[in-house]
Amino acid sequence: LESLLQAKEARLQRLEEVLARTDVAHGDAEELSEELDALETAMHRPDENGAWVHDLTSNGTLDSSNGEKFSAVIAQWETLYDKATQRRQDLERRVAEGQERERALRLVQERAAALSHRLGALLADGADALALPLEAQ
């Protein structure tokens, strides 16, 4: 039982660490996506709830002291899991926004490169300022 409790506490600590790190996560969409993956990995857990602790305590398999320890860890996990769920939604939103910004930036860069190429060709042909496209004037 002690090793099971330690394993649950270690998972709880890992989730706390990832939550703390993702609280200050910044960067581009790829970096945020990596943080999102780490959070989802830390959130993964087998389907469980506190019912088994109550059952084991009720039938005498688990003494009340250990039952309280497990119940406390499970309650803390549920609280952190709820917070992690909200953080995951926030990171998903931020990743989508970052991807949209990156797409918009690429489009601006492509248009600027096309305009630069077009202007270069016009200037090489000796065009005057009035012959330049409106967006270049």
Each residue's pLDDT tens digit in the chain (137 positions)? 778 788 888 889 999 999 998 887 888 889 999 999 999 999 887 555 566 666 777 777 777 777 788 888 888 988 999 999 999 999 999 999 999 999 999 999 999 999 889 888 877 887 776 666 666 55
Measured distance CA(86)–CA(66) in Å, rounded:
30
pLDDT tens-place string over residues 93-105: 999 999 999 999 9
User: What is the residue type of 124?
Assistant: A
User: What is the residue type of 6?
Assistant: Q
Give the residue extent of every domain in the chain. Answer: 2-97
Measured distance CA(110)–CA(96) in Å, rounded:
21
